[in-house]
Structure 1
Amino acid sequence: MGAMLKMKASVFSLLTFLVLAPALTRSLNPSLNDDVLGLIVFKADIQDPNGKLSSWSEDDDTPCNWFGVKCSPRSNRVIELTLNGLSLTGRIGRGLLQLQFLRKLSLSSNNLTGSISPNLAKLQNLRVIDLSGNSLSGSIPDEFFKQCGSLRVISLAKNRFSGKIPSSLSLCSTLATINLSSNRFSSPLPLGIWGLSALRTLDLSDNLLEGEIPKGVESLKNLRVINLSKNMFSGSIPDGIGSCSLLRTIDFSENSFSGNLPETMQKLSLCNFMNLRKNLFSGEVPKWIGELESLETLDLSGNKFSGAVPISIGNLQRLKVLNFSANRLTGSLPDSMANCMNLVALDFSQNSMNGDLPQWIFSSGLNKVSFAENKIREGMNGPFASSGSSFESLQFLDLSHNEFSGETPATIGALSGLQLLNLSRNSLVGPIPVAIGDLKALNVLDLSENWLNGSIPPEIGGAYSLKELRLERNFLAGKIPTSIENCSSLVSLILSKNNLTGPIPIAIAKLTNLQNVDLSFNSLTGGLPKQLVNLVHLSSFNISHNHLQGELPAGGFFNTISPSSVLGNPSLCGSAVNKSCPAVLPKPIVLNPNSSSDSTTSSVAPNPRHKRIILSISAIIAIGAAAVIVIGVIAITVLNLRVRSSTSRSAAALTLSAGDDFSRSPTTDANSGKLVMFSGDPDFSTGTHALLNKDCELGRGGFGAVYRTVLRDGRPVAIKKLTVSSLVKSQEDFEREVKKLGKVRHPNLVTLEGYYWTQSLQLLIYEFVSGGSLHKHLHEGSGGNFLSWNERFNVIQGTAKSLAHLHQSNIIHYNIKSSNVLIDGSGEPKVGDYGLARLLPMLDRYVLSSKIQSALGYMAPEFACRTVKITDKCDVYGFGVLVLEVVTGKRPLSTWKMMWWFSVTWLEEHWKKAEWRNVSMRSCKGSSRQRRRFQL
């Protein structure tokens, strides 16, 4: 019995051990699970969009292999957590308090929000806290630093903390780095901060702190960097700062410090960066400044320093950046500064300095030189005369608002590395040197407000990197050079208040980056190039007070141009000047195909010296009878010929040699014609022989053949020779309809330039579009389907805009198809052949004739019914077919039935291939594989 009891007890003990063993194991090593638990709780409070914490799992026994986690090799406890720049969001929860051995916590450059836990600093082993670059807010509780233990680095920069800096910060005697910059901390600093003797870096910049620096600053003997910039500190700098002998960086800029600089600062022999700009310091620049031989950057700008620049500045041989701008300095630069051979940037602008500009400036390898707004008179001509490779290093030269006179140095082209040249507001005379064209890197050229004369040199086009050109308020004359088109990066073109003449060159329309143009107060003439509407980035275009004429460009910026920008041009017309434009601005010129440029005789006065011939009565009767017989024969012959050759007179009327001219006088001769150019261009007479030259034929359509010819000014035009003369309305109706079409202006419509009329021949003159038709781009190239999706969308959008504009003008296209959509050199669509059916008296019989079979497939069913009124909906139908053609790259078929079959079957086929039915139409959240497959 006893043995039985002992056996049962043994079994029970074994079972108990097996059940409790895991719990006993955990109790013997609880720390391992504390770290896992703490990090899992921390992860639950944040969102990880990049999935960087996906390796963190509560099933792991240790977090030492997790991303961003570092453990001690001895204890396997977490000692570092570094999760910088992972776009983490959410709050910093209490889970981190479980990491009792944590030494470094770095969560910088994320999107964490909320306040900071007051218990975080209670982690006794924590040495580094970096929470910079987040969106943490609120105030820091005073107890945060009361148990800071061995904390050495605290960085809360670039957050939204506000309120006072906790006074408990003074208790962290081991702190070496404090960075609380770029927050909203306010009020004075706690005095205890100045007693943190271990402090090496103190950055409190870009806050709302105020007050003075106390005298106890000498306690910071280990201080290397102090940055108090962009606050509201005031008072003077205490003498004790000279005791911080290890200081290398001092930045007190953008405060309200005042008084003189303390002499003790000359002890800061290790200082290489000193920025005191935008304060209220006064007095002379101290001579001891030359004792700071380690200085590389010295910025005293924006203060009230006066007097001359001390000679001791020449001792700063390591100096790279020197900025004394916006003070009250006088005199000239000391020659000793030539010893500062490492200078890169020199700025003495906005002072009262005079004397000469020293020559060493242009031979010392400087990158930036600014002496703007001083009283310097001499020294600009001499330095440019020398040569040296150091010239190439100068990139920024600003000598504006001084008293320089004489001519701009012709050798300025030696400064080949210049990116900015500003010589404005001086008294320079003479022409702009042609050497400006040698400045290939120049971005900004400002020669405004001088006494410059002559013309703008064509060589200006050599400075092709120009982004800003300012030449206003001079005495420049002549034309704006067309070479300006080479400056393709130009954003601002300011030429106002000069004596410029001639037209505004079309070259300006090629500067597609232009935003600001000011040509006001000149003597410019002629019309505005219509191509200016292509300047899509324009925000201002001032042409006021010139002698410009004609119609303002239609479209783009010019639809909303300010009336003040066009004042003072009496001959301009358009809505901006509240003056309507006539249909034909100049007097129409008249075409007489039978005239000759050599026929200059009209009526010749009789020569009194010629002998008068007196005929007898019988001779007169004989001559009269013969004339009657001849006239009768000619009349019968002419009548017969008119019947037989009514269709050939149109060609005969065009049989012109290249030298033929057009008569400018109206005529009633049956063989004469009337030519009207809406632009008033009298030079249409050249190239008309091309109309009978097959080599110049561009294509044929339902309304006629199209030919290309070139005007005398070199401008190409397209001429449509209508082949439906028997159907054309009367001359009065024809001209009324054509003039209406000539008034239509839109960037996506081919412009109608003019027309020619005879009873048997009609010509329409259009702008020439060089890129070919949409039909050619879609169907006639090697491989087909050249156009990218962006280009196809642009074509569809531009075509839609053009049709909308036509319908707003009560014009129906009637013949929309891909061969009537042209592509210009910049890839923009231009719709042609619009409104031509209005020239015909019987539309219903014409549109179904064999002459426009190419439009079948695009034509709405209404065209087949004579009783239905044709409306703009027919254009919409054709546009829909065009959209299908552009999207699919397929040709519309020759019958409506086949076209419908094509549309339905093609779309149904691709619909099935796309497996679109598997994709949610409500949320469009199908898999990426499904979305990729649904691509036509």
Structure 2
Amino acid sequence: MSQTRFLFLVFCSTYFHLTHSLNLEGGLLLQQVKHSLTDPSQSLSSWNDQDDTPCNWAGIKCDPSTRRVNSVDLSNFQLEGPFSTLLCRLPSLSNLSLSNNFINSSLSVDISRCRNLKLLNLSQNLIVGRIPDTLSRIPNLRILDLSGNNFSGEIPASFGEFRRLKTLNLVNNFLNGSIPISLGNISRLKELRLACNSFSPSQIPSQLGNLTSLEVLYLSGCNLKGSIPDSLSRLTRLQNLELSYNKLTGSIPNSLIELKSILQIQLYQNSLSGELPSGLSNLTKLLRFDISKNELIGTIPEELCGLQLESLKLSENRFEGSLPTNITRSTNLYELKLFNNKITGSLPSELGKNSPLQILDVSYNGFSGDIPSHLCENGALTDLILSYNSFSGEIPESLGKCQSLYRVRLTHNNISGTIPWTWVKLVELDTLDLNDNELSGDIPVGIQGWKKLTELNLANNRFSGEIPDEIGSLLVLNYLDLSGNNFSGEIPPEMQNLKLNFLNLSNNRLSGDLPPLYANRNYRNCFVGNPGLCGNFPDLCPRVGGSKKQGNFWILLAIFVTAGIGLIVGIVLFCWKYRAVKKNKKEIAREIAMSPWKEFHNLPFNVLEIMDCLDENNVIGSGGSGEVYKVVLSKGETVAVKKLYRGGGEISDKYGFKAEVETLGKIRHKNIVRLWCCYDTVDCKLLVYEYMPNGSLGDLLHGGKGGLLDWPKRYQIALDAALGLSYLHHDCVPPIFHRDVKSNNILIDGEFRARVGDFGVAKVVAVAGPGGVSMSAIAGTPGYIAPEYAYTLRVNEKSDIYSFGVVILELVTGRRPNDPDFGEKDLVKWVSTTIDQKGIDHVIEDTLESKYKEEIRKILKIGLRCTAALPINRPPMEEVVKLLQGVSADKSPTEFTGMGRAPLNYYQGEASDQAGKFSPDYQ
């Protein structure tokens, strides 16, 4: 009698009375497996002893002929507890998946008893310890997925004994050692995914070239060094080669041109050198080629540009020569990034004519000649970055056809002529940077259509005429630089409607009086070099040849000023002595008021007023870090002031003062809350922000004011917050991770537009690999914290994306992330479970109008993508923005998909493509 048969007889005798109506396998699942797990979401509620068979239970499938259990799929059930090896007693079990739960034990060697398994998926759990080397004893195993756990130690050398394994996925663990050469013996392997592990510095084993069935080789962020082995040329079925974020050196081997099936090659962020190999034209199926951030030299081969590429990224290398004209033959090209090289010559005149070109970035090169007129032939262009070249000629009027044009940077070129009148139709325009060129003429009539414009930089050109009144209607504009031109006339009073983070109108021919908002010393440096412009500043508007009476006036004024200064000094000394006897709030406030403040913007108010208003009547919020005050100043300006608590005369930085100042003090964006100034001494720490009259999104959603937020407002808030986070992740150099994205940190202005705020735990990442930055402690708020961050302490942009996805779910459901009604679930689990069991309509807040239902469903799906358990499956924030915008436009952005390949934007190659973008370091 076999051991299995004996065990089943024992089991039958033991449980006969308990499961009189349930068959043998059902009794095992019910009495052993279910009872070993915690089931807070009641996902296993259908498992009961009233059924004859478990075949209709949740997660269970049976063979239709034998009625034996052949599949147990408990993925996303929120189960907690150890892995139960009793599952291996199901003799016909071939598929076992416990993905995305909270399995928290080590993996017992007994799992090798699952002799008939073909699929084993334990990904996205909390499993610790070493990977059992006995797994290779499962003779029929085809798929083994242990990714997203806490496995440590080395990959077992015994894995080379697998004979039928097709997929091995160990991504995102704590594996060390080196990649065993024995993996080259798994002859049927199609996917090898080992990315994001802390392997010791080692070379790519040449034996991997023996895997002639391989389609995916995913070794990004594996601490690999040395050269790419020639043996990889034998992988003739390979579709996806990902070796980014390593320390590879040497040249790209010529042997790679033998990869006839390759669709994608990702080699960015290494130290590869030499020229590109010849024979690239053999890669006839290649769609995406990214070799950015290496040390490659030579010219761009003609044959590379003859391929039907969708994306070509050669940025931050040392390429020279001209761009081949046959780049225009690629009818699929939507992304071309060549910035920061030494490429010269002109852009091909037909560029964009035959392709859906969306992103063109050739900044920081030596290009010359005209800007091609066909760039918008297909109307798809969104990003045109040509800065720091030698382009000449005029701006093509045809660019006015680019209705999707979002970002234009042509700075530091030799472009002449005027801004085409057709550009006033670019309603999606966010950034227009034309500074340091030879442009002339007026600002075109009709710019009021640029409702989404946040940055306008026309500095150091030859523009003339008056500043148009319409500029005051650009209500989201926060960066305006018209300096170094020939603008004349008065400053339009409508400009007082703007809430600018940066303003510079210096060195023009402006005249007249300053608008009242700007008629104070806080703006004095914004208007210098305009001799006819009058304000209340003698050195700004010098008077020449004054009369004797005027001279006497200035003498008297000097006497009064001197006396005033003496009086102030006396008062200060008196207050200082009095404070030594008895400090009270008013004296401390006066001392602070006389001390220096650190200003980050041109202040439209007097900081000396602020301390007088910090009393209990003005408190609008408080917490563990201190109080927040609403302060209404004498000129009508309202600000919010955060005052941090003191502790024994000292204030530690555990409340994030330093992080907040270092982060918000540098960045400027319409969807990031503005930090006006700060004050920092041993006695007191203050942060002065712009005031947001509608408070936080959390207050509105969960504080009884949800009725103020109809669906259009909620959609706009989601898009605004996404734009702010996308700026932090992709446009800041280095990138910034917020680390505490939540509805309470999304602030709402009077027009219900959103800004991301509270950067007390933000992390500025100078160098972040694919695994992110390891932190010493968890930052964030329960319910918003990405699952991998909670147990790995790894911080990257994917953590923020998860938290933002939770905010989207809040906007759709109206529920808190940790609603008591969920039990031990959180919002993400509740939404997923409810959709699975009842359908998507059961999670949408009842108060939202039914006419928006289809749009709400699309937004909800975006939120679910952002909260994917596996970080690799979360879209980068740039893509999230496009997905949200696509919902509004009833269209979806083009996505590159492929069978059996990892998502293409994992590790965010875009994050390195920063040259020429608006950066906090540039300010």
TM-score normalised by L of structure 1: 0.53
**What's the C-alpha RMSD, in Å, of the aligned pairs?**
4.4
3-state SS of the aligned residue for 1:357? coil
Q: Give matches, 1:101-500, under 5 Å.
A: 101-134=92-125, 136-209=126-199, 210-316=201-307, 318-365=308-355, 366-380=357-371, 383-384=372-373, 390-474=377-461, 476=463, 480-490=467-477, 492-495=479-482
Do the aligned partners of 1:502 and 1:526 also contact (CA within 8 Å) in 2? no
Residue 516 of structure 1 pairs with residue 501 of structure 2: yes
Gaps of 5+ in 2: 1-11, 538-594, 613-631, 640-704, 710-748, 754-818, 824-844, 846-923
What is the rounded CA distance, in whole Å, between the counterparts of 2:13 and 2:209 in structure 1? 60
What is the rounded CA distance, in whole Å, between the counterparts of 1:379 and 1:199 in structure 2? 51
What is the rounded CA distance, in whole Å, between the counterparts of 1:488 and 1:213 in structure 2? 54
What is the rounded CA distance, in whole Å, between the counterparts of 2:229 and 2:489 in structure 1? 67
Describe the superposition over 1:679-718 as per-residue Cα deviations: whole angstroms up to 9, x where unpaired: xxxxxxxxxxxxxxxxxxxxxxxxxxxxxxxxxxxxxxxx
* Residues 1:468 and 1:190: Cα distance change in structure 2 (over 3 Å): same
Give the match for residue 58 of structure 2: 67
What is the rounded CA distance, in whole Å, between the counterparts of 1:541 and 1:71 in structure 2? 76
Do the aligned partners of 1:526 and 1:550 also contact (CA within 8 Å) in 2? no
Shift of 1:474: 4.4
* Residues 1:117 and 1:480: Cα distance change in structure 2 (over 3 Å): farther
What is the rounded CA distance, in whole Å, between the counterparts of 2:502 and 2:470 in structure 1? 17
Gaps of 5+ in 1: 1-20, 533-539, 552-558, 581-740, 749-786, 792-823, 829-922
* Residues 1:98 and 1:351: Cα distance change in structure 2 (over 3 Å): same
Do the aligned partners of 1:436 and 1:459 also contact (CA within 8 Å) in 2? no
What is the rounded CA distance, in whole Å, between the counterparts of 1:456 and 1:203 in structure 2? 54
Do the aligned partners of 2:19 and 2:49 also contact (CA within 8 Å) in 1? no
What is the rounded CA distance, in whole Å, between the counterparts of 2:822 and 2:118 in structure 1? 49
What is the rounded CA distance, in whole Å, between the counterparts of 1:231 and 1:542 in structure 2? 54
Give the aligned residue type for 2:504.
L
Do the aligned partners of 2:361 and 2:386 also contact (CA within 8 Å) in 1? yes
What is the rounded CA distance, in whole Å, between the counterparts of 1:563 and 1:361 in structure 2? 45
Shift of 1:281: 2.0
Out of 602, 606, 612, the position equivalent to 1:574 is 606
The more displaced of 469-478 and 412-421 is 469-478
Shift of 1:47: 3.8
Describe the superposition over 1:239-266 as per-residue Cα deviations: whole angstroms up to 9, x where unpaired: 2111121112111122122222222222
Q: Give matches, 1:433-832, under 5 Å.
A: 433-474=420-461, 476=463, 480-490=467-477, 492-495=479-482, 507-508=494-495, 510=497, 516-519=501-504, 521=506, 526=513, 544=526, 546=528, 562-563=598-599, 565-566=601-602, 574-575=606-607, 745=636
Give the match for residue 836 of structure 1: none
What is the rounded CA distance, in whole Å, between the counterparts of 1:475 and 1:266 in structure 2? 51
3-state SS of the aligned residue for 1:216? helix
Which has the higher relative contact order, 1 or 2, with Cα contacts under 8 A spaced 6 or more apart? 2
Describe the superposition over 1:273-308 as per-residue Cα deviations: whole angstroms up to 9, x where unpaired: 112222222222122111111111122222222111
What is the rounded CA distance, in whole Å, between the counterparts of 2:611 and 2:105 in structure 1? 63
What is the rounded CA distance, in whole Å, between the counterparts of 1:431 and 1:396 in structure 2? 20
Give the match for residue 844 of structure 1: none
* Residues 1:478 and 1:172: Cα distance change in structure 2 (over 3 Å): same
What is the rounded CA distance, in whole Å, between the counterparts of 1:228 and 1:193 in structure 2? 13
3-state SS of the aligned residue for 2:365? coil
Give the match for residue 642 of structure 1: none
Among the aligned pairs, what percent are the same residue? 30
Do the aligned partners of 2:316 and 2:340 also contact (CA within 8 Å) in 1? yes
Shift of 1:188: 0.7
Give the match for residue 696 of structure 1: none
Shift of 1:421: 1.5
Describe the superposition over 1:73-102 as per-residue Cα deviations: whole angstroms up to 9, x where unpaired: 343332111122334444434443443432
* Residues 1:518 and 1:497: Cα distance change in structure 2 (over 3 Å): farther
What is the rounded CA distance, in whole Å, between the counterparts of 1:94 and 1:216 in structure 2? 34
* Residues 1:68 and 1:531: Cα distance change in structure 2 (over 3 Å): farther
* Residues 1:151 and 1:392: Cα distance change in structure 2 (over 3 Å): same
Do the aligned partners of 1:35 and 1:98 also contact (CA within 8 Å) in 2? no
* Residues 1:476 and 1:163: Cα distance change in structure 2 (over 3 Å): farther
What is the rounded CA distance, in whole Å, between the counterparts of 2:218 and 2:298 in structure 1? 28
Do the aligned partners of 1:297 and 1:321 also contact (CA within 8 Å) in 2? yes
* Residues 1:476 and 1:79: Cα distance change in structure 2 (over 3 Å): same
Do the aligned partners of 2:225 and 2:246 also contact (CA within 8 Å) in 1? yes
Describe the superposition over 1:619-653 as per-residue Cα deviations: whole angstroms up to 9, x where unpaired: xxxxxxxxxxxxxxxxxxxxxxxxxxxxxxxxxxx
* Residues 1:371 and 1:459: Cα distance change in structure 2 (over 3 Å): same
What is the rounded CA distance, in whole Å, between the counterparts of 2:388 and 2:50 in structure 1? 74
Do the aligned partners of 1:491 and 1:515 also contact (CA within 8 Å) in 2? yes
Describe the superposition over 1:813-847 as per-residue Cα deviations: whole angstroms up to 9, x where unpaired: xxxxxxxxxxx99799xxxxxxxxxxxxxxxxxxx
Describe the superposition over 1:32-66 as per-residue Cα deviations: whole angstroms up to 9, x where unpaired: 33543334433334444443321112454421111
3-state SS of the aligned residue for 1:41? helix
What is the rounded CA distance, in whole Å, between the counterparts of 2:50 and 2:435 in structure 1? 74
* Residues 1:249 and 1:41: Cα distance change in structure 2 (over 3 Å): same
TM-score normalised by L of structure 2: 0.54
Shift of 1:109: 2.9
Corresponding residue pairs, total: 558
Do the aligned partners of 1:121 and 1:147 also contact (CA within 8 Å) in 2? yes
Give the match for residue 845 of structure 1: none
* Residues 1:497 and 1:531: Cα distance change in structure 2 (over 3 Å): closer
Do the aligned partners of 2:328 and 2:348 also contact (CA within 8 Å) in 1? no
Describe the superposition over 1:128-174 as per-residue Cα deviations: whole angstroms up to 9, x where unpaired: 1112233x142324434253332110112223333322223222222
3-state SS of the aligned residue for 2:279? helix
Give the aligned residue type for 2:293.
G
Shift of 1:271: 1.3
3-state SS of the aligned residue for 1:293? coil
3-state SS of the aligned residue for 2:152? strand
Do the aligned partners of 1:225 and 1:247 also contact (CA within 8 Å) in 2? yes
Describe the superposition over 1:498-519 as per-residue Cα deviations: whole angstroms up to 9, x where unpaired: 66667765645656xx673333
What is the rounded CA distance, in whole Å, between the counterparts of 1:926 and 1:163 in structure 2? 37
* Residues 1:127 and 1:364: Cα distance change in structure 2 (over 3 Å): same
